[in-house]
Amino acid sequence: MTDAVSARERILARVRAAVANAPEAPAVARDYRTSHTADDPAAVLGLLHENLADYRAHVHRTAPADLAALVAERLAERGARSIAVPPGLPEAWLAATDAVRRPDEPRLTPYELDGVDAVVTGCALAIAETGTIVLDGGPGQGRRALTLVPDLHVCVVLAPEQVVASVPLALPRLDPGRPLTWISGPSATSDIELDRVEGVHGPRTLEVILVTGD
Amino acid sequence: MGMPSFPKAAHDAVGDTTLRANLRHATHTIRDKRARAVAELDDWAALREAGKRIKDETLRRLDTYLVRLEAAVTAAGGTVHWAADAAEANRIVAALVRATGETEVVKVKSMATQEIRLNEHLEAEGIAAYETDLAELIVQLGEDRPSHILVPAIHRNRGEIRDIFKEKMGSWGRPAPEGLSDTPAELAEAARLHLREKFLRAKVGISGANFMVAETGTLVVVESEGNGRMCLTLPETLISVVGIEKVVPTWRDLEVFLQTLPRSSTAERMNPYTSMWTGTADEDGPRAFHLVLLDNGRTDALADEVGRQALRCIRCSACLNVCPVYERAGGHAYGSVYPGPIGAILTPQLRGTSSEIDASLPYASSLCGACYEVCPVAIDIPEVLVHLRERVAEEGGSGHRLEKAAIKAASWILDRPNVLAAGERLASATRKVHPKRLPGPGARQWSDHRDLPELPAEPFRDWWRKNRS
């Protein structure tokens, strides 16, 4: 690949020549806000709920004891008879559903995933100000394709420990070495006359369950 | 490329009433939404300034950050390639695809691959490249060109899109459903069915990136539909072609752009999907990842001390949506994948100003300044436009000699008030016989596209003397 090496050197030399006489750039001022929200877990959770719903996610709240029943109800309501199960998903979350489980071990092929009705996952964290849940492939979340191909995604968020107010508070808690997926509402497009339509290629339905209290 | 100059292309576009209605509806909808989304953040000015400075710092030490990025991507299992121009980038990508043994690829919407005309190059090599963004699909099926950075089919209305789907989907794969209506929901569903078979079998994906983090080697793609996620995660091989200016120094820098980009572009608090990946990951996503770093004129822009700020652009397209010239002329008139105000300064820098279209682009503006106001990285587009006009004028051409002569004449008259007053009175007295268009080369083109102002019955200064003094 001698060509590639020489292109590299050519480009770097051109960059260096281009900015050789440029003044130093002023230091980056970070006097923007770390958060736009009061430091109150209830307010932050309320905002998360509101913003998720604003972008057409279906949001529910429950106590840990009632989570399994709610997961089962949401799956049944949407007619989901089979579910992809990421490694490490707490078995208790699925205790009340009779949907067929399709564990992702060994990895399901894209065609197999396409034949599954739903996926249930946890998350790495959720961002209130933008109405975003973030997945990092950790236990109970699985690889990225699992939450992409099935048409229904049921995501469990543990509050308050997995909820942050803002993007600047989210990034330090994420590991860039892992594949990350930020999800703000279901798949959507605005490509036709800028009318927002939910549901193109990703899951058309996003159900978010906020688990609060003991 | 033989593209007509901006005035010529814009002249035809302005006469197309469907196009103007589509554009007006779309740009006004999004600019109003954007204003509301931005107003939610009371520190917008500080975020804008921070974004500007992060990009300026990046550009000032671009060599350092590119080398750092290369090391981080390589350490994470990726392979980095460097391409000085479009031909080199196309060669690299084609060779990488051929090495997989595949003859089709799925693509995430990417300005960089449009810029280098990758699809056409792959087609010549016997490789079919399928665009999977809904708007890009509409453009590809319609054998059309994109006309907006964010919503490339903004010039098409729902009826036109239905007709394209009904007519063309069948020859590219799964045909459009029987009795397809023109509701956006049904059209999106047709695209879902048509593309899903391609996603599921795809072995090679091609993308661009919105950001590359030098510190960590992380690439970031923001999108809405999930077609991006499909292309980034289902294939075995992923090839990302990214302009060298898309690098940012640190992981933390994303906190600025992930707040400003979605609100500026789609007017959302956050776009539905953002994917971030660093090299390759065991058991998740492609096993092979190739990053092609593209120069293709960017170092020329970097060398221009006024013009280099165009490289701060994060491709949000807010400037297109507020531009009165874009709204009337449409994206095709700019003769480049980068239309609107940012295109008018970026394209002539990337391609030079030797062709008719590129020399005309710095004039494709009324210099109203709205583009600067909305730019989330504070690119002073009017400043660069004027700077590039100077460059074009210095390079010569008949139009510009005429312009210089006119300005010389004007300053002689303006320096002599008596001559000016006499001229004004003469003009008022003879106004009934004035032509509707100006005669002569240069001047006639000007009044071809503009209504001449009517002269008042008496000069203002005479009126003032009579009534106020």
pLDDT tens across B25-34, in order? 888 989 999 9
pLDDT per residue rounded down to tens, chain A (214 residues):
455 569 999 999 999 999 999 999 999 999 999 999 999 999 999 999 999 999 999 999 999 999 999 999 999 999 999 999 999 999 999 999 999 999 999 999 999 999 999 999 999 999 999 999 999 999 999 999 999 999 999 999 999 999 999 999 999 999 999 999 999 999 999 888 888 888 899 999 999 999 998 6
Chain A residue with minimal CA distance to B136?
Answer: A191
> Taking Cα atoms as reference points, which of B451, B425, B457 lies closest to residue B438?
B451
- Domain layout of chain B by residue ranges: 41-296, 408-467
Q: With b meaning 16 or more CB within 10 Å and e meaning fewer, what string describes B38-49?
A: beebeebebbbb
- Give domain limits for chain A: 7-212
Between the CA of residue B362 and those of A112, A198, B4, B278, B342, what are the distances in Å? Answer: 53, 39, 15, 39, 10
Q: Which residue of B has its CA nearest to A107?
A: B283
**What's the confidence (pLDDT) of residue B165?**
96
Distances, alpha carbon A105 to alpha carbons A108, A211, B410, in Å:
7, 27, 80
Complex ipTM more than 0.90, yes or no: yes
Residues 192-211 of chain A with CB under 8 A from chain B are 192-195, 197, 199-203
Assigned token pair, B107:
């693509």
A95 CB within 8 Å of a chain B CB:
no
Does residue B39 have a pLDDT over 60? yes
d(CA B259, CA B236): 32
Confidence at B424, pLDDT banded by 50, 70, 90: confident
Q: Is the model more confident about B404 or about A10?
A: A10
What is residue B261's predicted lDDT score, i.e. its pLDDT?
A: 98
Task: Give the residue-averaged pLDDT of B289-293.
Answer: 98
What residues of A are in contact with residue B192 (Cβ under 8 Å)? 199-201
- CB within 8 Å of A165: residues ≥ 6 apart: A35, A36, A37, A39, A44, A47, A127, A128, A129
Tell me which amino acid residue A152 is: L
Neighbour count for residue B76 (Cβ, 10 Å): 18
Of A114, A168, A190, the CB nearest to B200: A114
The pLDDT-based confidence of B399 (bands split at 50, 70, 90) is low
CATH hierarchy code of domain B41-296: 3.40.50.10420
Distance of alpha carbon B321 from alpha carbon B26, whole angstroms: 8
Is the CB of residue A150 less than 8 Å from the CB of residue A117? yes
Q: What's the one-letter identity of residue A18?
A: A
The mean pLDDT of chain B is: 92
- Portion of chain B with pLDDT greater than 90, in percent: 75
Short-list A75, A204, A87, CA closest to A141: A87
Q: Quick: pLDDT tens for B343-352.
A: 999 999 999 9
In this structure, are residues B371 and B381 in contact, taking their beta carbons and an 8 Å threshold? Answer: yes
Given this model, what pLDDT does residue B1 score?
A: 45
- Its sign, for the CA torsion A138, A143, A145, A149, is negative
CATH 3.30.1360.70 matches A7-212: no
pLDDT > 60? residue B398: no
Q: How many CA atoms lie within 13 A of B27 on its CB side?
A: 27
Beta bridge partners of A102: A84
- Report chain B residues whose CB lies below 8 A from the CB of A38: none
| pLDDT at residue B459 tops 60 | yes
Q: What is the pLDDT of residues B51-60, one digit of tens each?
A: 999 999 999 9
Q: How far is A63 from chain B (nearest CA, A)?
A: 27
User: What Cα–Cα distance (Å) separates residue B405 from each residue in A12, A124, B238, B412?
Assistant: 43, 67, 56, 11
Write the DSSP assignment of A44-58 as a string of letters: HHHHHHHHHHHTT-E
Which residue out of A11, A24, A48, A175 would a mutagenesis test of the B interface target, given it has the greatest number of B Cβ atoms within 10 Å? A11
Q: How many CB atoms lie within 10 A of CB B370?
A: 18
pLDDT in tens, B302-344: 999 999 999 999 999 999 999 999 999 999 999 999 999 999 9
